[in-house]
Amino acid sequence: MQVQINEAVLEIVEGDITQQDTEAIVNAANNELRVGGGVDGAINRAGGPAIQAEARQIGYCPTGQAVITTGGNLKAKYVIHTVGPIYRGGTSGEADLLASCYRESLKLASARSIKSLAFPSISTGVYGYPVAQAARIALRTTADYLEEHPEIRLVRFVLFGQQAYEVYAKELEKIGG
């Protein structure tokens, strides 16, 4: 499912982010940029040790911020690592931090002239963010950014499993499916 935002495409697919052919894929990293489980583990396994070696050089990423490494053996040339908030009930600034993850990742893409990127559903695994709320923030923040940044042509959300896909589909419909 996709929507057009000016010249850009915002789309959602069900699948595995490690297999995407966008110029960059985004990783749901941790503050220390150490290989973890979930999507982080999958990206590092598929991309090989070069990604972790570069991430260790960078060393740290605050929650809500993003850093970039090359993509190692992945089809994607770059991996943008962003650190989502751990969900603690929703009253600890989680929504702003999650929106910031998407915005800062997109800003890094713009700065590197990256025209296509794929996101996983940040914070909705081990970090416990409720998927419907996270989907709304992810899609709205991205749609707002694309309105103002025609340099990015494609943003794809890659949802792991049909359940997450359906939640995102419901939110994308509200944006203008």
Nearer to ligand ADP, 75 or 149 (CB): 75
- Asked if residue 102 binds ligand ADP (CB under 6 A), the reply is no
Could you list the beta-strand ranges (E) of the chain.
Answer: 2-5, 8-14, 24-29, 66-70, 78-83, 116-119, 154-159
Window 50-79: residues binding ligand ADP (CB under 6 A):
none
Question: In the bound complex, what is the minimum distance in angstroms from residue 38's beta carbon to ligand ADP?
Answer: 2
Closer by beta carbon to ligand ADP, 23 or else 40? 40
Kindly determine how many residues on this chain lie close enough to bind ligand ADP according to the rule CB under 6 A.
20
* Window 123-162: contact mask with ligand ADP (x via CB under 6 A): xxxxx------------------------------x-x--
Specify burial of residue 140 (Cβ count, 10 A radius: 0-12, 13-18, 19+).
middle
Asked whether 145 and 103 are in contact (CB, 8 A), the reply is: yes
Among the candidate windows 52-60, 71-79, 118-126, 140-148, which touches ligand ADP by CB under 6 A? 118-126
d(CA 93, CA 98): 9
Q: Does 164 engage in binding with ligand ADP (CB under 6 A)?
A: yes
Min dist. Cβ of residue 43 to ligand ADP (A): 7
Q: Report which of 116, 145, 130, 132 is spatially closest to residue 173, judged by C-alpha positions.
A: 132
- Give the type of residue at 73: N
